[in-house]
Amino acid sequence: MLFSAAADSYEWAVREIRGEFGKVPVQRVGADIGRVSGPDVSELAAACGAGRIMFVRHLTREVGGFEELPPSYELAELILGELPEYPKALAVQAWTDRAGTGGSYFHRISEALAERGVEVTRSGQEWVVSCFEGPRAVLLGVNRLTDSLSDWPGGRMRLARGEERVSRSEFKLEEAIATFGLKLPNGGKAVDLGASPGGWTRILRLHGQEVWSVDPGYLDDRLRGDRGIHHAATTAGRFFADNRVRFDVAVNDMRMDQVLSARMMIDAAGHLRRGGLAVVTLKGGGKNPLDGARRGIAELRAGYDVLHARQLHHNRNEITVVARRR
């Protein structure tokens, strides 16, 4: 099967895969793409879903490799032959190591399937056709969305950069909510630790949360008139010492050591309702980000059930962890 990982985290993804499945053959076939033989795609997807493998972002079953894609009829036959029944619609995702988006491959595959009466979208289907143009070959994969980890090409989620954005950090929380299907309670109360300038606060508000934004720094002017935002211009420790609010959601995107971030979330757990949701980014840093992330997650387990842990597209050198207060 084919898997994707951030280019500078590829070695950690390989280490995790081999830690889970033994010394299976792994071959790098692109800057952020590898091929692994041995485990079933569902087994690997399950390990990723459980947070035992954090640096893999996307999976697909490889069904062919070519110097150039075959003619339309052959291409459609190959794809449709991999499916348990004739589909009404398929998602097609294409990307490349080169400059560009892989759009020409998307259109060639789409046209081949349309000739056979199959509707094509870019996402939102039960089955996903993946096409990756690497330095030596064009690789084709077919996989169930449930085992693909992401509904974006190679896990490369693209979000619009509108003028309403407060900071780039917004993308991380927005991607986590979409990727993991997080459901924030209607009219819930959320605390955003290290909130300045307010990117995560803005996303929480978009999802219907009343937000306590904790940071000695400023909030963006566009947030100040929102009565659903309470800016506590103080540190997290001082805030929790005086706080009497019970929260449904706690988030933390602070730039600090993984263990310190996790311990701050343990402090937050005492102010979360039972079953409350926590989202924290564990910053990579250091020579061994994998072991650092594992130490942070071990700390979190003192107060939470860890639901997800993965390096998402917008994380760069971080791991996003989603947990639920016990």
pLDDT in tens, 19-68: 999 999 999 999 999 999 999 999 999 999 999 999 999 999 999 999 99
Q: What is the pLDDT of residue 13?
A: 97
158 closest CA partner among 167, 146, 171: 171
Do 174 and 151 sit in the same domain of this protein? no
- DSSP-assigned letters across all residues of 305-317: EEEEEE--GGGSS
Q: What is the DSSP string of 132-176?
A: EE-SS-EEEEEEEGGGTS-SSGGG-------TT---TTHHHHHHH
176 and 150 share one domain:
no
Residue 165 lies in a domain: no
Of 128, 155, 182, the one marking the end of a domain is 155
Single-letter code of the amino acid located at 240: F
Residues 175 and 248 in one domain: yes
Mean pLDDT of 135-143: 95
Q: Which residue has the higher pLDDT, 309 or 224?
A: 309
Task: Report how far residue 224's alpha carbon sits from residue 301's, in angstroms, rounded to the nearest whole number.
Answer: 35
Q: Are residues 192 and 242 in the same domain?
A: yes
Q: Measure the CA–CA gap between 59 and 7, rounded to whole angstroms.
A: 15
Residues 68-101 have pLDDT tens digits of 999 999 999 999 999 999 999 999 999 998 776 7
- For residue 156, is pLDDT > 80? yes
Percent of the chain with pLDDT over 70: 98
Asked whether residue 39 is domain-assigned, the answer is: yes
Same domain membership, residue 203 and residue 126: no
On whether residue 162 sits in a domain, the answer given is: no
User: Is residue 161, in this structure, part of any structural domain at all?
Assistant: no
Domain that holds residue 72: 2-155
Residue 285 confidence (pLDDT) above 80: no
Q: How many domains does the chain have?
A: 2
Domain endpoint, select from 122, 155, 188: 155
**Helices 10-21 and 289-300: angle between axes, nearest 10 degrees:** 60
Tokens of 113: 């399937």
Least confident of 7-11, 101-105, 297-301: 101-105
The answer on 212 and 97 residing in a single domain is no
Residue at 316 is within a domain: yes
pLDDT at 216: 97
Which of residues 155, 185, 210 is at a domain's end? 155
Q: Taking the CB of residue 163, how many other CB atoms lie within 10 A of it?
A: 5
**177 and 129 within one domain:** no
**CATH code, domain carrying 210:** 3.40.50.150
Condensed to tens digits (0 to 9), the pLDDT of residues 163-197 reads 778 899 999 999 999 999 999 999 999 999 999 99
Average pLDDT estimate for 136-150: 96
In terms of domains, do 102 and 215 share one?
Answer: no
Are 119 and 153 in contact by the 8 Å Cβ rule? The answer is no
Q: Confirm whether 160 is domain-assigned.
A: no
Same domain, 239 and 138: no
Residues 135 and 238 in one domain: no
Give 227-256 pLDDT, tens digit per residue: 999 999 999 999 999 999 999 999 999 999
Domain CATH code at residue 10: 3.30.2130.30
Instruction: Say yes or no: 150 and 179 in one domain.
Output: no
Residue-level pLDDT at 204: 98
Residues 73 and 133 in one domain: yes
pLDDT tens across 194-204, in order?
Answer: 999 999 999 99
Residue 297 lies in a domain: yes
